[in-house]
Amino acid sequence: MTQGLHTVRILANFHRPAFTMNPRLTIRQQRALCSQLGHVKLKLLYKASIHGFTGAAFHQQCDFQGPTVSVGYNATGHIFGGYTSKPFNQSGQYVPDDRAFLFTFKGEALLKYQVINSNQAVKMIANSGPYFGESLVLVNGSQAVVYSNPGNHYNFPPAEMHGNNLQLTDCEVYQVEGEFSELEKPWRSIVWESENELMNSIKTYKPINSSVPQARILLVGPVGAGKSSFFNSINSVFRGHVTSQAIAGCAGTSLTTQFRTYTVKAGREGKPLPIILCDTMGLEESTGAGLDVDDIGNILKGHIPDCYQVQLSLTFLYKMFSCSPGLKDRIHCVVFIIDACKVSIMPTKLEEKLAAVHRRANFIGVPQLVLLTKVDEACPVVAEDLTNVYKSRYIREMAQEASTRLGVPLSCVVPVKNYCEELELDQKCDILLFSAVIQMLRFADNYFDDINDRSSSKKDIDVV
């Protein structure tokens, strides 16, 4: 009789409909996380509302499954959690992981908190869910609660992380599938021993239009993408040591408040190079914040003076500007500076602003280039060796996505690494920076060619 009942239970379980596990993370949120991890996708392994808020259920679904992203949800709408590259187990021991981090979402933006004590990044506890150091535990003690104690392992503001609401409505764990990998052959060729040749090409460059002594390049991009850092990096390679003339940093709003034009010199007391880099406020997602897109036309046409203090809008002071700028005062190439780590998670409103700048430059006839910065932060393969930048499958995908989002050909997207934390120069980094400047000068020549062609056509019409 007992055996029969047991058989019935087995059959009942066999015919019970399987639960459908639908991830609570939106596609944009998943992409935001994947942008930090590389050429990967997320596969849902564990969902507490289905499998149970217990350590046993969590470990049954997630142990030995490789890198994972763990996500907690609470009633106040906070979405937060952590990533570890190490597989979970039930050893009771700490596991080192220098790639681990915690995160929370603020709207569509991902806020990231890097591990502090990487030797104790993750703890493998049988009676709990994901256990990040002694700072954050999801499904703590097999309860639908969070343990939160920022400090020596990870540091974060609790109000920002989870709104001080420690009651979980759900918990999910995703397996990270795929990894950063190299292509069989580079997607673009580059000579890594050409530093002197590239430097001399820039020093000896002359605009093909004799009325223009220097090509003027406008740097445009979101706050924090690396516009000012790019100038500092170019200045560094020609000075022979790392410099920081332009104000740069990682603030949430633009540190650049003026329209600035920077001349680069070949050495401390050397001659100015035939290029001027123009920097202005970063683009921001919010309406009315950052650079006013409506004033890009004035900048491109050369109406805006150097060191103009940007406030809210340049338009209302238009009469103060140069009304008849010459060709030498105009912008000859626009360069979009885009963070490679954030291409996939670019907010819609910010993308719209970049598209508006792109349209304005197209209308005026100014060629455009895209610099993909922070490639070493975006891809560990590149961080390990910068010469892998054109072998990285992930960087190629980010370049293609930047090409699509900004509406420029892939040939107009150039990966670079700025000098940010280094004290000494690096030849590989220099070569990428030089290559970017060479492309800017080529694009400026395209602009001058177009101007000359239009002038010739006008003369022909006048003669007729």
Domain that holds residue 398: 195-463
Phi, psi of 210 (to 5 degrees): -65, -20
Residue 96 one-letter amino acid: P
Q: Can you name the residues that pair with 275 across neighbouring β-strands?
A: 215
Q: Which residues contact 172 (CB under 8 A, 6 or more apart)?
A: 23, 24, 25, 44, 46, 47, 48, 70, 71, 73
User: For the domain that residue 261 is a member of, what is the CATH number?
Assistant: 3.40.50.300
Do 431 and 377 have their domain in common?
yes
Does the pTM of the predicted model rise above 0.75?
no
In this prediction, residue 365 carries a pLDDT of 93
Q: What residue ranges of the chain have pLDDT lower than 50?
A: 1-18, 249-255, 311-314, 316, 319, 459-464
Q: Is residue 10 part of a domain?
A: no
Do 162 and 224 have their domain in common?
no
Q: How many other C-beta atoms lie within 10 A of the C-beta of residue 17?
A: 5
- Which of 126, 149, 177 is at the close of a domain? 177
In this prediction, residue 11 carries a pLDDT of 34
Q: Is residue 8 part of a domain?
A: no
In this prediction, residue 15 carries a pLDDT of 38
C-alpha 357: how far from chain center: 19
In this prediction, residue 321 carries a pLDDT of 57
- CA nearest 122: which of 145, 149, 99? 99
- Which of 144, 177, 210 is at the close of a domain? 177
Do 246 and 124 have their domain in common?
no
In this prediction, residue 228 carries a pLDDT of 85
- Strands of the sheet containing 146-148, edge to edge, are 131-132, 136-138, 146-148
Q: Can you name the residues that pair with 134 across neighbouring β-strands?
A: none
Using CA atoms, how far residue 258 sits from 333, 359, 406, in Å, is 19, 23, 25
- Which of 177, 206, 240 is at the close of a domain? 177
User: Do β-strands 215-220 and 333-339 pair in parallel, antiparallel, or remain unpaired?
Assistant: parallel
Q: What is the pLDDT of residues 95-137, one digit of tens each?
A: 999 999 999 999 878 999 999 999 999 999 999 999 999 999 9
